[in-house]
Amino acid sequence: MRFKEEDGQAVIIVALAMSIFLIGAIGLGIDGSHLYSQRQMAQTAADAAATAGMMSVFNSTNTSGTAAFSTSGSFTCGTSDAKTPCVYARNNSFGGSASDTVTIDFPGSAGAPGVNLATGYPVNVVRATVSRNVNTFLIALIGQTATTVSATATAAIVSVVAPVPILVTHPTMASSLSLQGTPTIKICGGPSRSIQVNSTSASAAATGGNSSIDLSHAGPNDTGGNCTTGTGADLGVTGGPSTSPSVSYGTTGHYVEPDSWMQDPLAGVDPPTLATLPTAPLPTALTPGTSGCPVSPGKTCYLFSPGIYPTGLDGKNKTPVMKPGIYYIQSGGMDCSANCDMYMATGFTDGSLGTNTGWDGTPTGGGIMVYNTGGGNFNLGANGTINLIGSPSDSAYKGILFFQDRTAAATTHNLGGGGAMTLRGTIYLTNARATMLSTPTQFQQLNLQGGSGSGTLVQGEIIVGALQLGGNGAITMNLSSLAILNVNEVALVQ
């Protein structure tokens, strides 16, 4: 037999059960939203801490000062810790209270599987793990008073293919890229970024006269590097101007401003070792039509050999024919500017050089790498015909043709002008970024000229402190045979 009082009790029990269910459901919504927000904050803090820590290692600022930290082992941040990753976690609302934990460790390549890591750094992977005990609200009514949110981020110094054929490296100079006169500069093929100007100046890129840059057939779609199928590439400037210089971008190219500065992709290439090189012998006359000397040279051909040049390499009023190998100029620079033609020698291999390069003077085998230190400049091509090949792209010199000492005093280099010039290799004339930041007047400038009735052809990268393009002829960069150069940069990888 059932009593009416029992019906009332059942209603109360059902209502109570429904209340608990509703409290749990509402609590799940409110607390879940709060915990999700805390989780997003935790991820932002972890990302910032890992990136800042890796950037500090990348820039070598982790070794001294109040923000310094050791990479020899993991550490946990204190609530007022001055270490760089700790500060960046705290700036993003994690690590400032006892309920937070911020841990930094260095897992090595195991922490970044499948990533092309850069070498030459104390560590190349930094991991940040952050956690916080978060009190619950309505869920606490049914038992759980707190929960833990956490997030992990991993940053690494990665090695990626260099994205530009022309890199102007001065960090602050006005008109670091300057176009004067009436030259037409055309880039064929190459990557999606053709030119990068690192200067933060509001007038980092400047044009004058009737000069122009044609990027309309640049970019990866022009696989042959002959300006037939490319659809355009970008010009990036860290500073300005806000409006594009006189550039044709094609259908896929753009003016990118402001843009992040780009690291020198050849910063890790060491200069040649002086002790391993012989003193170069005096040039010897060549019979026309032999060893690379033209049948009818404008001036007498002289065979130049690799090695040490204590007082410079002077080709004026000569036709230098260059054996493949390493040329180390201690002072005086390299001059082929007045009535001077210059060619690669043929028929010479490693056995006759004494430099153990194995280069053979061909585009694939490699030609010369000229390292200039102790004063002087590169001054080639005012009146003559020049045809040179740089080091192999897979050698220690990464395809470099002309290499200026990174510690050199401010110098202006001149290439091109009245004659035809073909340079197959990278023109690398820059001081270190730190040097130019501390002493802005210490930089390398390249004046690259086109001449009337002739052209200047470059197959390779141009990496210079400041670049002035001028003259009244064509300057063409054919990038179908570019060396693959890598640049190191910091990136979040997990």
State pLDDT tens for residues 2-16: 555 555 555 555 455
Residues 6+ apart with CB under 8 A from 52: 84, 85, 87, 88
Task: State how far the Cα of 303 lies from the Cα of 203, in Å rounded to an integer.
Answer: 45
pLDDT at 167 (0 to 100) = 93
Instruction: Name the DSSP class of 317.
Output: T
Q: Which of 49, 39, 83, 50 is nearest to 493 (CA)?
A: 50
Give the DSSP H or E segment for 336. strand 334-336
Global confidence as pTM: 0.72
Distances (CA, A) of 273 to 65, 232, 328, 396, 400: 34, 41, 9, 12, 16
The three-state secondary structure class of 20 is: helix
Q: Taking residues 454-469, what's their average pLDDT?
A: 85
Q: Which of 143, 144, 111 is nearest to 127 (CA)?
A: 111
The yes-or-no verdict on residue 21 having pLDDT over 60 is no
SS3 percent helix, strand, coil of the chain, rounded to 5, is 15, 35, 50
Task: State how far the Cα of 379 lies from the Cα of 314, in Å rounded to an integer.
Answer: 10
CB 340 within 8 A of CB 417: no
Task: State how far the Cα of 216 lies from the Cα of 460, in Å rounded to an integer.
Answer: 19
Q: Kindly indicate the confidence band of residue 453, based on its pLDDT and cuts at 50, 70 and 90.
A: very low
Tell me what percent of the residues of the chain surpass a pLDDT of 90: 46
**β-pairing verdict for 166-168 and 146-161:** unpaired
CB 199 within 8 A of CB 169: no
User: For 63-72, 293-302, 305-314, 375-384, which range has the lowest pLDDT when averaged over its residues?
Assistant: 375-384
Across all residues in the chain, what is the average pLDDT? 84
For tokens 């932002």, name the residue.
44
Distance of CA 288 to the CA centre of its chain: 44
